[in-house]
Copies of this chain bind each other. A is one copy, B any other.
Amino acid sequence: MKTKNAVSALAALAQEARLEIFRLLVRKGAQGMAAGELSNHFLMPPATMSFHLKELSNAELIVARRESRSIIYSANYEQMQELLGFLMENCCADNGGKC
């Protein structure tokens, strides 16, 4: 993962509404949730939800699939793991590995 990807993923999560959306999708696992369901769940207008889902999608933290008229979003665990790894990369390397 490159710094710019990490910044984009962190920025996507650094917003209360989006962080809660992402955490709900993390709970839901592979089944995911439709945009409209999320919009109802968080009592948020569809346009606002759509904006947030796009931010998370652009950062590749969630993925979308169409199912009939609905668009289902689910968490992308691989991207999340990469982000966590990036943040702790070379931890204490310049201090003999002592943290």
Main secondary structure of the interface of A (DSSP, over half): helix
Given A10-B10, A84-B84, A92 and B19 contact (CB-CB distance below 8 Å) = no
Flag if B91 contacts A27 (CB, 8 Å): yes
Q: Does A42 contact B (CB under 8 A)?
A: no
Total interface residues in chain A, CB < 8 Å:
36
Once bound together, how far apart are the Cα atoms of A11 and B11, in whole Å? 6
Number of copies of this chain in the oligomer? 2
Please name all residues of chain B whose beta carbon is closer than 8 Å to the beta carbon of A95 when the two chains form the complex.
27-31
Flag if B10 contacts A94 (CB, 8 Å): no
List the interface of chain A (C-beta within 8 A of B): 3-4, 6-7, 10-11, 13-16, 19-20, 22-23, 26-31, 77, 80, 84, 87-99
6 contacts between A and B (CB under 8 A): A10-B10, A28-B92, A28-B94, A29-B98, A30-B95, A84-B84
